[in-house]
A = this chain, B = another copy of it.
Amino acid sequence: MSNSAGELYLAEIREQPRALERLVAQRAELAAVSRLLADRAPSIVRLIAHGSSDNAAAYGVYAFGLLSGWTALRDSITLTVYYDAQLDLPSSVVVALSQSGETPDVVEYVVRARQRGAPTIAVTNDPESDLADAADVTFPLAAGEERAVAATKTYLNTLAALALMAAGVSGREREVGDGIRRVAELLDGMLDPIERAVPAIATTFAYVARMFVIGRGIEFATAREIALKLTETCRVAAEPLTATDLAHGPIAALDPLFPVWTIASRDEALPAVVDAAARIREAGATVVASGNASSEVSGAAYELPVPEPPIPLLAPLLSVVPGQIFAGALARAKGLDPDKPVGLSKITRAR
């Protein structure tokens, strides 16, 4: 492993505050997207994505649900692209998420949905991509070129884009935009302390082969994204679970060699996460507590707190970052290069 292993990945994590500010500055682009959404007042927002973008989509379900009272769903791509199901697409709005804008079946979904009369929005880091070309309107991620294979700043900007779009249809774009700018400031202040805290945990976890990552509600997206980072950069079998689904079976697998990363943020779902952490401790597993309410998790072996955002809905923009940084440190502790996971390339063309 070269000394530069993970340099790109870490540089892009550090760039996230600036990337968020660039996104929020795109007022005209947001206004165009908000107009399309508000004009249609759709019965459903169909979120179309794979990988990290699909993790962000799990957040979009809550952003639209809480800010605009709209039903957003992570739609099945297979149902429309492979099985040609005759769903009522025109009464929906399609929001397709892909940092590269080149994911083949996401592009194909948008082509089909537009042909069938559904309004389509592309959220992508490449406004010249096939996806942007296929959609009616594009909201650029404006994250700057992402060179590390494992997505970080495009993930954060996709979360922010979804929050802004959901805010835009309910006249709250200024409040949420200001909130995201404040999140960028908070991020600036937390990166150094987190970077100093993670190597000690990473060293202890160097031989870990499997983990669970637990979140609930708005933080389930964070659990999914941290688990994916651990799997792709550290070759850990990391599974994301809601606090409740853990109790519906997987808790039986825990033992002292099976650590669990918990994301505890201050909102109505917090008690479920705190209860789950207590059950995890009873099973003898090592608990890492993160999130802005990490101190509520009792018996955690390690704590990686983050600040509280001005709006609770924005918590996932902060709570994913310790997981991103930890994955980079754990990859290095395992002798892997987080910039170049085995067998992956930046644009995933697999169907």
Chain B residues with CB under 8 Å of A236's CB are 253
Cross-chain contact of A250 among B78, B231, B272 (Cβ < 8 A): B231
Chain B residue nearest in CB terms to A345: B247
A62 to B75, CA, bound (A): 11
Q: Is A310 an interface residue when CB atoms closer than 8 A count as contact? A: no
Per-residue CB contact flags for chain A residues 60-97 toward chain B (1 = under 8 Å, else 0) read 01100110011101001111001111111001100000
Chain B residues with CB under 8 Å of A343's CB are 251-252, 254, 279, 282-283
Q: Is A102 an interface residue when CB atoms closer than 8 A count as contact? A: no
> Are A235 and B252 CB-contacts (below 8 A) given A83-B268, A272-B82?
yes
A83 and B65: CB pair below 8 A? yes
Chain B residues with CB under 8 Å of A231's CB are 239, 249-250, 252-253
A88 and B69: CB pair below 8 A? yes
Best-surrounded residue of A78, A216, A272 (most CB of chain B within 10 A): A78
Q: Which of A1-9, A18-26, A29-37, A48-56 contacts B (4 or more CB under 8 A)?
A: A48-56
Chain B residues with CB under 8 Å of A76's CB are 61-62, 65, 217
Secondary structure type dominating chain A contacts:
mixed
Chain B residues with CB under 8 Å of A65's CB are 76, 79, 83, 85, 87
Which A residues are within 8 Å of any B CB, using their own CB? Answer: 43-44, 50-52, 54, 61-62, 65-66, 69-71, 73, 76-79, 82-88, 91-92, 105, 150, 209-212, 216-217, 220, 228, 231-237, 239, 242-255, 258, 267-269, 271-272, 275-276, 279, 282-283, 341-344, 348, 350-351
